[in-house]
Amino acid sequence: MTDIQIWTFVFVILTFGLYITIAWRSRVKETKDFYVASQDVPAFANGAAVAADWMSAASFIGMAGLIAFLGSDGSVYLMGWTGGFVLLALLLAPYLRKWGKYTVPEFVGDRYSEGVRIVAAITAILVSFTYVVGQMNGGGIVFSRFLNLNLTWGVIVAAAIIFIYTVLGGMKGITYTQVAQYTVLIIAYLIPAVAVAQQTTGLPIPQISYGQILSELDALGREFGLHAFSEAFVGRDGGQLDVFLVTASLMLGTAGLPHVIIRFYTTKTVRGARYSVFWALFFISLLYLTAPAVGAFTKLNLLQGVQGASADELPSWINTWGETGLVQVADGVDTIETVSNNAASGADLIVNNDILVLASPEIGGLPAPVIGLMAAGGMAAAMSTAAGLLLVISSAASHDLFFRVFRRNSGASDKEQMMVGRIAMAAAIIVAIIAGVNPPAFVAQVVAFAFGLAAATFFPAIILGIFWKRANGPGATAGMLAGLLFTGGYMIYTLEIFGTGANDHIFGISPEGIGAVGAVVNAAVTIVISNLTAPPSRHVQEMVEEIRYPQSRQEVGTGS
């Protein structure tokens, strides 16, 4: 066993033991604890939990890798994902917290109709499942490299640990586990970034020092046949239009993701929901402002390490990562001349986007303890988000479908509801394991597809439900289905999934950006159908009026 594996085992055992201990001490027996942690989570802790829920394998593992190869166009992920929290704080979080209850489909059902609740519950399961596939694959990548497991067993082990602490503690256990996971992942991300910045430029502030290497990185990129890192609108085939649409899709998707929205049902007050967003943005910014530097430094060290090297002189990390199948050297190559992240490009060296962050300490020549810490951070990122997604799938299947639709008139005890929820989690994680072994794209791209689906379905339905009293059940149903079918259909058309071949992007719009167009389709259909059909009942319209005042009279009177 190598030093890297020993240190990885140490950090993984310590952190996994911590997560399971927290879940065991937080184990629950009531549905309110299981779904919304009794709505008693302080804003600071909820902000850290939101940050961990948010900073998935896509943020920790995939984002800097995409920035490394996309260059400045990779900033769409930074702008979209952070901008979405602004929309969430201003337009959604306080209003939904005042309304209360447990889930997003429950709000949609009360606002519109039971039919819309069913559509929303099925959509929540679909969006969350798409998202969780990326987390399973990210966790599998960590295990397959650092613990010498193949990708399939890596995904299975990661899924088993997630399942254990999720079913024990529900939302209450997940919340405080995610606080611990955020602490692990941010330390694991920042220490290697600071060390590489110091080693490369002599200035241990990566957000500033990476500006010193951009000209050298641009020159190296051109030498290897890649576009310049700092050049805009060349990393995407659709150019400026696609960059805009991907950013918009990620923003709207962020504000519409069920596993993020449900977090704001757990705070003590409406004001607590607002402060949770503030703390979440602060915690997220620590990683997001560092990601461009991580991508730039890693790419620079990668290109310098293979520049002019023969097949026998390649750095050792290429051989170790090559065993996972995520790094490939073309047969018969004497000297590395071209590097690519695309297996179809015919490059001499092919590097998967998803390994760049995890491999950055090795590429930068950092010691084994730092590499092991990075592995633990990657697992924390994948597991924290997967837990929240599994809870959404569980609540949608049990609370919004089984007991509100199929057992609506017979009632159910807390014990029955939690049992069905845990069974739904188990079924979801089995399917996620299968899909996580063979995802349709890179981790960050798979996650971006989930954001596109959320943007095209939930965001318009919730926004119109809060701010337009005339929106009704038939309109919302038609709008959500139109947005889902349009966006999902385009993704299937442009990707090699479900046995279909990949087709060219229409007008250069990538599948990650189509969600913004789907949101417009959804809103337009909802508005037209709502105006052509009967308005909502007076009771529903009064509920909308009440929700628009996010701070309750009691909070105003007490000054809380």
CA 52, distance to chain mean position in Å, is: 10
Rounded mean pLDDT, 421-443: 74
Per DSSP, 441 falls in state S
Question: Is pLDDT of 346 > 50?
Answer: yes
Q: Which residues is 349 bridged to in the sheet? A: 329, 339
**181 within a domain of the structure (yes/no):** yes
- Please indicate whether residue 500 or residue 88 has the higher confidence score (pLDDT): 88
Q: Compute φ and ψ for 262, nearest 5 degrees.
A: -60, -25
Hey, which bits of 423-512 come out as E strands? none
In this prediction, residue 556 carries a pLDDT of 41
Q: Strands, DSSP E only, in 370-452?
A: none
28/26 Cα distance (integer angstroms) = 6
**Sheet with 339-340, side-by-side order of all strands:** 327-329, 349-351, 339-340
Q: For residue 302, what are its two tokens?
A: 């990668």
Residue 338's nearest CA partner among 307, 311, 361, 367 is 307
Residue showing tokens 């190598």: 2
- Highest average pLDDT, of 66-80, 132-146, 285-299, comes from 285-299
Beta bridge partners of 410: none
Report the amino acid identity of residue 358: L
- Confidence band (pLDDT; 50, 70, 90) for 63? confident
pLDDT at 102: 64
What number is the average pLDDT over the span 85-94?
Answer: 80
Give me the number of domains the chain comprises: 1
List pLDDT tens digits, range 120-149: 888 888 888 777 777 777 777 777 777 777
Among 102-106, 302-306, 488-492, 498-502, the least confident range = 498-502
Q: Do 259 and 391 form a contact (C-beta atoms < 8 A)?
A: yes
The domain that holds 155 is classified in CATH as 1.20.1730.10
Give the whole-angstrom CA distance, residue 491 versus residue 380: 29
What letter represents residue 98's amino acid? Answer: K
Answer whether residue 326 is part of any domain: no
CB contact at 8 A, 215 and 401 = no
Alpha carbon distance 63, 73 (integer Å): 11
pLDDT above 90: percentage of residues in the chain: 12
For 161, the domain range is 3-298+366-405+416-551
- Interval 519-531 mean pLDDT: 96
Is 70 exceeded by the pLDDT of residue 496?
no
Please name which of 463, 455, 461 lies closest in space to residue 487, comparing C-alpha atoms.
455
Which residue(s) pair with 161 in the sheet? none
Tell me if 489 is assigned to some domain: yes
Residues whose CB falls within 8 Å of the CB of residue 241, separated by 6 or more in sequence, listed in order: 507, 508, 509
In a domain, 318, yes or no: no
Confidence of residue 171 (pLDDT cuts 50, 70, 90): confident
Answer whether residue 142 is part of any domain: yes
Question: Would you say 154 and 146 are in contact if contact means Cβ atoms under 8 Å apart?
Answer: no
Residue 556 in domain: no
Mean pLDDT of 340-348: 65
* Residue 135 one-letter amino acid: Q
Phi, psi of 541 (to 5 degrees): -65, -35
The whole-angstrom distance between residue 285's C-alpha and the CA centroid of its chain comes to 15
pLDDT in tens, 412-426: 666 777 777 778 878
Write the CB contacts of 4 (distance below 8 Å, at least 6 apart in sequence).
146, 362, 368, 371, 372
Buried b (16+ CB within 10 A) or exposed e, 166-204: bbbbbbbbbbbbbbbbbbbbbebbbbbbbbbbeebbeee
Amino acid, res. 319: N
Which pLDDT band, with edges at 50, 70 and 90, does 553 fall under? very low
Residue 32 has pLDDT above 80, yes or no: no
Give the pLDDT band of residue 345 (cuts 50, 70, 90). low
Higher confidence at residue 125 or residue 516? 516
> Is the CB of residue 62 less than 8 Å from the CB of residue 138?
yes
Please list, in sequence order, all residues whose beta carbon lies within 8 angstroms of the beta carbon of residue 520, skipping any fewer than 6 positions away. Answer: none
User: pLDDT over 70 for what percent of the chain?
Assistant: 86
d(CA 252, CA 550): 21
pLDDT at residue number 269: 78
Spatial CB neighbours of 272, under 8 Å, sequence gap ≥ 6: 41, 42, 43, 46, 97
Task: Please name the residues in contact with 484: beta carbons below 8 A apart, sequence gap of 6 or more.
Answer: 123, 126, 453, 456, 457, 518
Indicate if the pLDDT at residue 304 is higher than 80: yes
Q: E strand or H helix at 459, and its extent?
A: helix 443-467
pLDDT at 518: 95
Q: Which residue has the tokens 């099925």?
A: 122
This prediction's pTM: 0.78
What is the enclosing helix (H) or strand (E) of 386?
Answer: helix 368-395
Q: What is the mean pLDDT of residues 533-551?
A: 82
Q: Measure Cα distances from 136 to 13, 129, 173, 290, 522 in Å.
A: 19, 10, 20, 24, 30
CB atoms within 10 A of CB 162: 28
Find the farthest-apart pair of alpha carbons in the chain and give their distance in angstroms, rounded.
77
Q: Give yes or no for residue 285 having a pLDDT over 80.
A: yes
Closest Cα partner for 62 from 324, 295, 349, 361?
295
Q: What mean pLDDT do residues 192-205 have?
A: 90
Mean pLDDT computed over 240-258: 87
| Domain-located, residue 496 | yes
> Mean pLDDT across the chain, nearest whole number?
80
Q: Judge whether 559 lies within some domain.
A: no
**Which of 11-20, 428-437, 531-540, 548-557 is least confident?**
548-557
Segment 387-405 shows an average pLDDT of 77
pLDDT value of residue 211: 86
Using the predicted structure, report yes or no on whether residue 409 has a pLDDT greater than 70. Answer: no
How far are the Cα atoms of 356, 503, 531 from residue 54, in angstroms, in the given order?
Answer: 20, 31, 37
Please, where are the H alpha helices in 147-224? 151-201, 206-209, 214-223
Lowest mean pLDDT among 27-41, 133-147, 450-464: 27-41
Q: Do β-strands 327-329 and 339-340 pair in parallel, antiparallel, or remain unpaired?
A: unpaired
Say what the pLDDT of residue 515 is: 92
Count of alpha carbons within 13 angstroms of residue 135, beta-carbon side: 32
In degrees rounded to 5, what are phi and psi of residue 552?
-75, 160
Q: Which of 26-30, 444-448, 525-529, 552-556 has the lowest mean pLDDT?
A: 552-556
